[in-house]
Amino acid sequence: MIQMPSRRERTPINVKGKRTLRRSYQAVHAPPLEWDVVKVLIVGCGRVGSRLASELDQEGHDVTVVDREPASFSRAASRGALGQEFKGNFVVGDGTDADLLRRAGIEGSDSFVAVTEGDNRNIMAAQIAKQVYKVPRVVCRIYDPIRGEVYRKLGLEVFCPTIEGAARVRQMLLVRK
């Protein structure tokens, strides 16, 4: 079992020997996982899904990626995300199909991520994971801010790139260095 280094071990040390806080966007918005090994099922093998799958796989997690289009996996590999070194699994099919998700291993998953290009598909897949298969951690990307808020209130963990992106750009424009 791979052990994640402690938060203290991951904190950089500055030239005076003191531990410093990271100021990067990634460190602020992507805290380290707190589980040793996560079994994660990702629906959507676009840029976000493939990048997430690659990073989790490199950290030693058990990753399965589902996408309707077989070509998505080769496109991800050509971008350098899911190449020969990827140890996870690929499943071709519809991430809103409960039987396909079961065959992909959702019943034993610790977490589930829906990052297809469609809000409706992401919402459906996330609700199946949460309500039918009782996956402990379900994250869903929803582009529409109004829908995102509605589904957040219904208990889904929602990431809205529209809101997050606008906030980040605003911060970059208005915060003085």
pLDDT band at 23 (very low <50, low <70, confident <90, very high): very low
Q: Which CATH class is domain 24-174?
A: alpha beta
Q: Would you say 11 and 19 are in contact if contact means Cβ atoms under 8 Å apart?
A: yes
- The pLDDT value given to residue 22: 34
pTM of the predicted structure, to 2 decimals: 0.77
- Cα dist from 72 to 52, 91, 100, 125, whole Å: 14, 11, 17, 18
pLDDT band at 175 (very low <50, low <70, confident <90, very high): confident
**pLDDT digit string, tens, across residues 69-108:** 999 999 999 988 898 899 999 999 999 999 999 999 999 9
| 63 vs 13: which has the higher pLDDT | 63
